[in-house]
Amino acid sequence: MRVLAIETSCDETAVAIYDSELGLMAHQLHSQVALHAVFGGVVPELASRDHVRKLLPLIEATLKQAGIDHAQLDGVAYTAGPGLIGALLVGAAVARSYAFARGIPALGVHHLEGHLLAPMLEADPPRYPFVALLVSGGHTLLAKVAGLGQYQILGSTLDDAAGEAFDKTAKAMGLPYPGGPALASLAERGRLGRYDFPRPMLDRPGLDFSFSGLKTAVVVTLRQLQQGGAPLDEQTRADVACSFQEAVVETLTAKCMRALKQTGARTLVVAGGVGANRALRARLLSMGEQRGIAVRYPRPEFCTDNAAMIAYAGCQRLLAGQQDDLQIRAVARWPIDSLQIPQVTTVSSN
């Protein structure tokens, strides 16, 4: 089965084509970073309008990259949620109409399921069951993944997501949007251990996270350092960034270790935008080496939002016989543990 996938849940317009025999055939992405940068964050209405402008040309470019035409597709998958409702609606309307016009099935895919299954796109995919750490701008969760649609949530954030903490802290430090990667690269020039920020909820049992207190601790420290009004020198800023990043990395690593112990799983998968963070990757890899745990990442471009992960997840579900009716599905909120487990049936290829 060959699936066209569309992802428009936030500020990236992305299209991919995945073939169940050949693997990923093509993927294209248009980032709206430049569009939103002047506002210091994503402006939902501008995001929707840009998806309208970019989506159809991107579909054509993806087909061209794959070397196929419209008639050689067997299904369409699209991100139906969670995300910005206007942005989701653009992708959902195009995907559903496209599938209707071509007489092929369409399926709305859960954005986080896409992230959880993104490592399956790699040459040596992890085996079920595994523990997944999903750390993105909107979500932070630990889940036991036993198979397609079998996601047991072990812990999640009580307030800010890890990416949100990076973004808000970056903003407080006056770094440009998007803050997460900017803060991470500043942190790379910093010295470890200069500031002692809290490791949220590490002293308590359980697998939940909380990051808003950490962000506040950084803001308070910045205020103290800036008494007298003089701007901070670059090394001090880098040291603060480094200590903040260290607190996040240590917290996430410790919770991953707990989750692996609790479930007995021997594989850890890291997904979502913060999974691109180099310090986090290095720490989790060394934790894995010490404990005989396989630590797997999607390649960095599939950690952040992309359509390849939606194509993969959609293809597996379409292959299992799942498909939507003619409704255009878009939901801003959609709990991942409410997802159905597809019943494997034999389906024809059209």
Interface contacts to ligand KG4, rule CB under 6 A? 10, 136-138, 163, 166-167, 178-181, 184, 272-274, 276-277, 304-305
For 296, the enclosing helix (H) or strand (E) is strand 294-296
Q: How far is the CB of 305 from ligand KG4 (least distance, A)?
A: 4
Beta bridge mates, 81:
110
Q: Which stretch, 61-69, 98-106, 286-294, 298-306, contacts Zn ion (CB under 5 A)?
A: 298-306
Residue 75 near which of Zn ion, ligand KG4, none (CB within 5-8 Å, type-dependent): none
For the chain, where are the alpha helices, taking DSSP H only?
Answer: 33-37, 44-66, 85-102, 111-117, 162-172, 179-187, 212-225, 234-263, 278-291, 300-303, 308-319
Site for Zn ion in 129-188 (CB under 5 A): 136
What distance in Å separates the CA atoms of residue 350 and residue 105, rounded to the nearest whole number? Answer: 8
Residue with smaller CB distance to ligand KG4, 75 or 272: 272
Nearest residue (beta carbon) to ligand KG4: 180
Q: How far is the CB of 61 from ligand KG4 (least distance, A)?
A: 21
Residue 181 near which of Zn ion, ligand KG4, none (CB within 5-8 Å, type-dependent): ligand KG4
- What is each CA distance from 259 to 59, 96, 131, 133, 270, in whole angstroms? 40, 38, 7, 9, 13
- If 0-12 CB within 10 Å is exposed, 13-18 middle and 19+ buried, where does residue 146 land? middle
CA angle 159, 281, 135 (to 5 degrees): 25
Contact 25, 17 (CB under 8 A): yes
Q: How far is the CB of 337 from ligand KG4 (least distance, A)?
A: 18
- Binding string, 109-138, against Zn ion, x = CB under 5 A? ---------------------------x--
Residue 163 near which of Zn ion, ligand KG4, none (CB within 5-8 Å, type-dependent): ligand KG4
Residue with smaller CB distance to ligand KG4, 102 or 281: 281
Residue with smaller CB distance to ligand KG4, 136 or 251: 136
Residue with smaller CB distance to ligand KG4, 178 or 314: 178
Residue with smaller CB distance to Zn ion, 138 or 149: 138
Q: Total binding residues for Zn ion by CB under 5 A? A: 2
- What is each CA distance from 68 to 19, 25, 59, 60, 341, in whole angstroms? 12, 10, 11, 10, 31
Q: How far is the CB of 74 from ligand KG4 (least distance, A)?
A: 27
What distance in Å separates the CA atoms of residue 292 and residue 302, rounded to the nearest whole number? Answer: 25
In three-state secondary structure terms, 297 is coil
Residue with smaller CB distance to ligand KG4, 4 or 116: 116
Q: How far is the CB of 177 from ligand KG4 (least distance, A)?
A: 9
Beta bridge mates, 156:
141
Determine which residue in the list 50, 113, 160, 305 makes contact with Zn ion, applying CB under 5 A. 305
Q: How far is the CB of 26 from Zn ion (least distance, A)?
A: 20
**Residue type at position 122:** E
Q: Which residues contact 75 (CB under 8 A, 6 or more apart)?
A: 1, 2, 3, 4, 99, 104, 105, 106, 107, 314, 315, 318, 323
Summarize as ranges the residues that interact with Zn ion (CB under 5 A): 136, 305
